Amino acid sequence: MIFNKLRGIFAIVEMAITVSFLIILMYIFPSKTKYFRKRWSALQLKILGIELQVEGEEDPTAQMQIMNHQSVLDIILFEYLHKKDLAWIAKIEIANLFWFGHIVKAPNMILVERESKKSLIKLLKDAKEKILEGRPIGIFPEGTRSKGNKLLKFKAGAKIIAEKFDLNVQPVVIIGTRQILDSQNLTQQSGVVKIIYLPSVKAEKASSWYKDIEEAMKTKIEQEFSNDI
């Protein structure tokens, strides 16, 4: 446990240092932000000792990916895995962090202020802009991190965006990232992360697509953890 704690401290310090170099590179070479983010993410997976297991396939036509959230590692994984330049929806609090807030500013991520109607208008405007640029939207519909073994209830944000622009949405289940890097308890260990791509759906207002995705992801997570028992 002490060893995992030391590894956790090392991981956070290492990321803080290398993220600073990443931020600088993204500002110097703005047309290559995706390239640098992908290379940095590949480095993190190697340092953290992560083995990836992938089930299913990324849908190249999907304009939005919906994922469960349990660790900062979730973002790093998809920066590495996704073939396109994902536009993450991030809380404005992240952008307001001294220096490190540039990790979402430099690559022009979508920033949202929760519980603000004015922010919702801006969110839709920014989402439309990214979609027209050919950037898929990455979002954690739970709105916060879970413990990884259960799916939290979805917030409405992803549903509003997807239905507004009639998006093709792919749900993705992430298993194991919190066990590998728990930034809240500051522990880190090597291990396996499983990525499960589920079939994409069309965000049609008249259908129950959002609830169906939530149920499918919830069921898949429960199955994965019951298999480990």
Residues 9-37: what's their mean pLDDT? 97
User: What is the percent of the chain where pLDDT is above 90?
Assistant: 87
Q: What is the pLDDT of residue 43?
A: 97
If you average pLDDT over residues 16-38, what whole number do you get? 98
Compute how many other C-beta atoms are within 10 angstroms of the C-beta atom of residue 17.
Answer: 9
Q: Is the pLDDT of residue 229 over 60?
A: no
Q: Whole-structure pTM over 0.85, yes or no?
A: yes
Instruction: Report which of 166, 158, 160, 107 is spatially closest to residue 135, judged by C-alpha positions.
Output: 107
Task: Classify burial at 62, counting beta carbons within 10 Å of its beta carbon; exposed 0-12, middle 13-18, buried 19 or more.
Answer: buried
Task: Count Cβ atoms below 10 Å from residue 201 Cβ, excluding itself.
Answer: 20
Distance, first Cα to last Cα, the chain: 22
Number of domains in the chain: 1
Contact at 8 Å (CB) between 50 and 193? yes
Range of the domain at 175: 2-227
* Dihedrals phi, psi of 85, to nearest 5 degrees: -85, 90
* Per-residue confidence (pLDDT) for residue 228, from 0 to 100: 64
Domain CATH number, residue 208: 3.40.1130
Is residue 12 scored above 90 in pLDDT? yes
